[in-house]
Amino acid sequence: MITRDSAAFFEFARACPTDFGPATANAAFLVAPEGFALAEQSASDNRYMDLGVATDAGRALAEHRGLQAALSETLPTICFPGAIDTPDAQFPNNVFATAPGRLILGHMRHAVRQREAERADIRDFFTGAMDYDIVDLRGQPGICELTGSLVIDHARGLGYAGLSERCDAAGAAAMHAAFGLRATLVFDLAPGEYHSNVVLSVLAGRAVVLASDGFADASVTDAIAAFYQPHVVRLTTAEKAAFAGNCIALSGRDVWMSRAAATALQPAHRAILTEAGFRVRSVALDEIEKAGGSLRCCVAEIF
């Protein structure tokens, strides 16, 4: 089912067992921030970007190497090279995503990001080395920026699709089908929010991190929180601004976020994650975060 009716969605969701698939990814891939710079097109609808700040490509690359090394302690993590003409390529999860046996290509809003899906090496890796099929959403009419716009509870096969300039209703339906989800809840993000994964994260199917002010309708966040009780972290505005919502569980034990996000996380919220069986792990990404995304945006999961 795919619906805007949160009551109907969660009535269905409560009957879904946690047997849809692995709750966390088997591996991950990154794309290096070669020639790191701020993309003007992306800044047009990303409130977390400021084109007036200076950037340091060398520092961004060093942070990214540190990210790969750190994540490799949790799960196998590979890295593809970036390119100067794709300045947002360090956020591959918007363009590429996987489901078992499938590589999904997203329909990006901006031309500067559409170029990323044209590269053959990533596609060839999955079709050749991994023997995956390609599901290409670029030709369908809906805009859908994959796991930027769609947050997935992989254990239950549930999706949470936030609509904005980066995802419309047709795109949400296309992603629902491409990922083969059992059910997807569609809702509007608050004005000025561009991706769901900045304001919402489902952690291994057993905890949720969300920012109520990132949703147009607070009742949606209340319904999501009720479903994942008692392990619910409701972010403050300051925590959201530090990208604490842009976190990801890459194992049943490790929740990863940027160093700035972990520093902003209130002790009571860290305690909730601990109670859920997670340890918070972090890596410095201050330079990369100037591009309007954080750690979760850098990680394309491999299932």
- Number of domains the chain contains: 1
The domain that contains 120 carries what CATH number?
3.75.10.10
pLDDT at res. 49: 57
For the chain, which residues score pLDDT lower than 70?
39, 43, 49
Domain of residue 75, residue span: 2-302
Phi then psi for residue 153, to 5 deg, are -90, 95
Inter-residue contact 184 to 160 (CB < 8 Å): yes
- Model's pTM, two decimal places? 0.96
Helix count (H) and strand count (E) of the chain? Answer: 12, 16
Dist. CA 24–CA 21, nearest whole Å: 9
pLDDT at res. 43: 65
- Amino acid in position 269: H
Dist. CA 44–CA 301, nearest whole Å: 27
